[in-house]
Amino acid sequence: MPPGDPSNFHRALTHSSYAYEAGTADNERLEFLGDAVVGLAIGAALFQMYPNVNEGALAKMRASIISATSLGAQAA
């Protein structure tokens, strides 16, 4: 999946309801991959920033940051 491939851009913007009607690929798989990348990036940053915090607390902090409400506020 080359990053510069125009079909990936089109797929990223295609909702599953439209894809079903049009018989084309949707953005679900790319969303899955993007969620994993965001989780990894935030997890790595928290790991570096808080070296003495245990895994459970780091997981709660990551979940709080990743929540749709939190990310939506940052995007606005």
What pLDDT shows up at residue 70? 66
What pLDDT shows up at residue 16? 74
The pTM is what? 0.68
What pLDDT shows up at residue 13? 64
Question: For residue 69, with 0-12 CB atoms within 10 Å meaning exposed, 13-18 middle and 19 or more buried, which class applies?
Answer: exposed
List, in order of start, the domains of the chain with CATH numbers: 6-75 (1.10.1520.10)
What pLDDT shows up at residue 67? 87
pLDDT in tens, 15-72: 777 666 777 777 787 788 888 999 999 999 999 999 999 999 999 999 999 886 666 7
